[in-house]
Structure 1
Amino acid sequence: MSKPALMRQMPQIAHVDVNCFYASAERAFDPSLEGRPLVVLSNNDGCAVTRSPEAKALGIATGEPWFKLAPRAKEWGLVAKSSNYELYGDISARVMELLGRYSAWLEVYSIDEAFLGVKGEPEQLLALGRTMKNAVRRNVGVPVCVGIAPTKTLAKLCNKWAKNNPAFGGVCHWDSVPAAVREQLLARLSVEEIWGIAGRLAGRLNAIGIHTVLDLARADPVAIRDKFSVVMMRTVLELNGTPCIPMEEERLGRDQLIFSRSFATPVTTAAGLRQVLSIYGQNASARLAKHGLQAKVLTAFAGTSPFSGQEQSYPSVCVPLPMPTADPLLLTKAAHALLPNIREGIRYAKVGLMLTDLRPSGNQSPLELFENRHEERRIGTLLEDVSSRFGRGSIGLGHGGIKTGLDWTMKRNMRSPRYTTHWDELPLVKAA
């Protein structure tokens, strides 16, 4: 069998990425935003984290503060939206569920991108890419681009080409692009465009004469390993079509879970922080239950804003739990261990919980003497199920069982409706 025929029978990788995800999710339910410059803001409406192509054309940079943009927003026709994580999470879940219909080998890499294992002739793979692109647009309402290649690194590069070159029509297959054209495209891309290469690493590559993706692809992988790392050597091999980064069925094998938020209004009392820690404790419990995990160590921390001009304070406490648990009562009690370190009158701008030493639920039954009498009641699972169905704030425990809005909660004054997750915010359609 010839080498080209053999390569066509080997699995390839499709990388699917939603274009300007947050902005596209907003436009899916508000067509009036199409064609208009749009930015989605960070927590507490701080700065632009997503920019539509029209906003980029205005020269708006990622991270630009909203207070600087607001005075010229009317002049530019600029629309700003507060982050709507409930909407974005649901849109993401719909996209990933739909993509899963096209491959039994799906790796959800982030909220807006996924890798899929695919197989077929170049024409078949191009047709599959177009089918997925059109299906997501038609059924979910957001635009995606698709890159298909023998390796993850090349698939991401193909996606970049598909997104930035109209000639590809949003779908690019590595083997369908003539070799001479591929070299030209690689020569135009800075080495910083490669997956996993940041500014400082790019500077080190530039110092030895590697400025473009093509330069790195032509480098000796062994020499690159000796000067940099095995990881960088794998990147060189991936650029040359040798798969070195395997597909993963799950990305839940995390080492820690962090639940942290900045406040719209600083909290200045221990009683106020008790309320925050209680809510975060039960939210962390629900998150653990959702992923079938338990934690053995909880760290609680708080902090003031370094820009407040006021007295600074950054208390923290690490609490070993008596057993691996996802029980909200135990987690909340452990989080409250931070309270003796809280100083009244200090303007705390952020509080968080970090759960570490995570283990699968039910992996090992504790001895009866150490058994947690709340664990079998599956309270964390109950909190997650009720909250998923009726929204956050619909159920709570003790100091965390408050449904009404709180003045310290995240400021989102320009948030769009949560169209798909809250009954009272469902979109309305009026017939003429």
Structure 2
Amino acid sequence: MIALVDCASFYASCERVFDPRLEDRPVVVLSNNDGCVVAMSQEAKVLGVPMGIPWFKLEPVAATQGIVARSSNYELYGSLSARVMEVIGRHAAWQEVYSIDESFISLRGTVEEVIQAGRRIREDVARCTGIPVRVGIAPTKTLAKVALLGVKRSAPLSRVGVCHFGAYSPTQRDTILASIPVTDLWGVAGRLGRRLANLNIHTAADLAAQDPGQMRRRFSVVLERTVRELRGTPCIPLEEEPRQYKDQLIYSRSFSEPVTTTPAMRQVLSIYAQQLASRLRNAGQEARVLTAWASTSPFATDQEPHSPQISAVLPVPTAEPVTIARGSLGLAELIRPGTRYVRAGVVLTDLRPAGQAETLPGLGPPGEGRNLGPTLDAVVARFGVGSVGLGYGGLGTPPSWQMRRAMLSPRATTHWDELVTVRL
């Protein structure tokens, strides 16, 4: 059996781990610069808070409804996700971490034995991390997603939390599939859903009744696999080993206030490049192609839109921070001083394992061989992000354009000075 373990309202649950006052209260988590609601607790959903609503529209009524807002705490969410996945992995020989809050694992045994295993997973994760999880179990990944939908729509999580698709009779399983809109299925997006609706395919049961070969000819092999999986035949491969290498790395952010000068944009690009170089080294990779871009707001009516972009092929594949920073700085020369840029990013592509191709002595980037990158990593690991920077990225105080997170909770698992204080 395949079990899909999903964290319930993950971002909101993370906020509650170190702040018990948020239990049973409606919690919303905001996007970059405290812009829009991107996640919420079940209590906020019950109140009818729309996903994506701008905070400035919700804020006037938040206090009267008891809604608590938090800025996105990416460090905390990433740290707790790693802990949750480690605990889940203790219960199976095979695990595929699917996203920050979802993980597939394999389980063996009778229906009742597997259900008991799912309950133990829930108990262990709650005890070790404080995060509530739900478990959907079935013979295929797609049906495991279906089982998980059943958990989400059933009784409160404190009483339920594990659903084994095989525990139901064939008639009951057909009824379950008939209750699920086809657009709720894994991999069926809105546009594909509209095309299926034109063929009178509206539910998961309707799709399961289709001829797999015809679905492949009319749509794609992906939809054929979905049909077969709904019928109980495993078709989506189990990734027993996580992908070791990434295809690309991206670092992009919106600014809390617009960047309007060339020096400020150089500062942005230097900081972004340093962050990307560190991620590249952590992944054990090197990059050959760099792209940098910036953009104005599409909603600004008092200035002409401008989205400059550059691409460069680096001299050799590298994770050397000086080379990556220099490559990105060319974008700063393309901005129009006085124009209000609200977002920028740096992208690294053509990635390959580090050390795959050796460079002849004297022909590599200027900083190559001096261990500058690992030295920066060591300083940041000991003294924290922002303790050291390269060139324009070496800042004594945070820049004014830095992402605004006015309602940020403590990063209790990654920053020593933000450890939680326990009072008895």
| TM-score tier after normalising by the smaller chain length | over 0.9
User: Partners of 1:123 and 1:84 in 2: how far apart?
Assistant: 38
1:254 counterpart residue number: 246
1:409 counterpart residue number: 402
Query: 1:384–1:237: structure 2 CA closer, same or farther, 3 Å change rule?
Result: farther
Confirm or deny: 8 A CA contact 1:192 1:198 kept in the other structure.
Answer: yes
Matched, 1:306 2:298: yes
Query: 1:241–1:314: structure 2 CA closer, same or farther, 3 Å change rule?
Result: same
Superposition deviation, residue 61 in structure 1: 1.3
> Which amino acid in the other structure matches residue 230 of structure 2?
L
Matched, 1:135 2:124: yes
Cα deviation 1:58-84 (Å, max 9, x = unaligned) = 111111111111111111111111111
Superposition deviation, residue 241 in structure 1: 1.4
2:75 counterpart residue number: 86
Matched, 1:214 2:205: yes
2:178 counterpart residue number: 187
1:365 counterpart residue number: 358
Query: 1:242–1:403: structure 2 CA closer, same or farther, 3 Å change rule?
Result: farther
User: Partners of 1:335 and 1:35 in 2: how far apart?
Assistant: 46
Superposition deviation, residue 121 in structure 1: 2.2
Of 344-353 and 380-389, the range deviating more from structure 2: 380-389
Cα deviation 1:204-262 (Å, max 9, x = unaligned) = 11110111111111111011111111110011111111111112222454321111000
Matched, 1:197 2:188: yes
Number of corresponding residues? 420
Alignment equivalent of 1:44, drawn from 33, 38, 57: 33
Q: CA RMSD in A?
A: 1.6
TM-score by length of 2: 0.95
Q: Which has the higher helix share?
A: 1
> Which amino acid in the other structure matches residue 272 of structure 1?
A
What's the secondary structure of 1:27's corresponding residue?
Answer: helix
Matched, 1:333 2:322: no
> Which amino acid in the other structure matches residue 69 of structure 1?
L
Alignment equivalent of 1:291, drawn from 270, 283, 302: 283
TM-score by length of 1: 0.94
Matched, 1:169 2:169: no
Cα deviation 1:107-147 (Å, max 9, x = unaligned) = 11111111112222222211111111111111100101011
> Which amino acid in the other structure matches residue 206 of structure 2?
D
**5+ unaligned residues in a row in structure 1: which ranges?**
1-11
Alignment equivalent of 1:239, drawn from 230, 240, 243: 230
Alignment equivalent of 2:57, drawn from 56, 68, 84: 68
Query: 1:149–1:384: structure 2 CA closer, same or farther, 3 Å change rule?
Result: farther
User: Partners of 1:193 and 1:423 in 2: how far apart?
Assistant: 42
User: Partners of 1:49 and 1:425 in 2: how far apart?
Assistant: 24
> Which amino acid in the other structure matches residue 59 of structure 2?
A
Query: 1:180–1:386: structure 2 CA closer, same or farther, 3 Å change rule?
Result: farther
What's the secondary structure of 2:56's corresponding residue?
Answer: helix
Superposition deviation, residue 308 in structure 1: 2.4
Confirm or deny: 8 A CA contact 2:30 2:36 kept in the other structure.
Answer: yes
**Aligned residues: percent identity?**
53
Superposition deviation, residue 199 in structure 1: 1.0
> Which amino acid in the other structure matches residue 32 of structure 1?
R
Confirm or deny: 8 A CA contact 1:267 1:408 kept in the other structure.
Answer: yes
Confirm or deny: 8 A CA contact 1:150 1:242 kept in the other structure.
Answer: yes
Q: Where do 1:150-165 residues align within 5 Å?
A: 150-165=139-154
**5+ unaligned residues in a row in structure 2: which ranges?**
none
What's the secondary structure of 2:295's corresponding residue?
Answer: strand
Of 160-169 and 420-429, the range deviating more from structure 2: 160-169
Cα deviation 1:291-329 (Å, max 9, x = unaligned) = 111110000111111112223211111010011111101
User: Partners of 2:205 and 2:375 in 1: how far apart?
Assistant: 53
Query: 1:238–1:381: structure 2 CA closer, same or farther, 3 Å change rule?
Result: farther
User: Partners of 2:362 and 2:416 in 1: how far apart?
Assistant: 45
1:144 counterpart residue number: 133
User: Partners of 2:194 and 2:78 in 1: how far apart?
Assistant: 36
Confirm or deny: 8 A CA contact 2:245 2:353 kept in the other structure.
Answer: no
> Which amino acid in the other structure matches residue 90 of structure 2?
R
Query: 1:384–1:114: structure 2 CA closer, same or farther, 3 Å change rule?
Result: farther
User: Partners of 2:81 and 2:382 in 1: how far apart?
Assistant: 17
Matched, 1:101 2:90: yes
1:264 counterpart residue number: 256
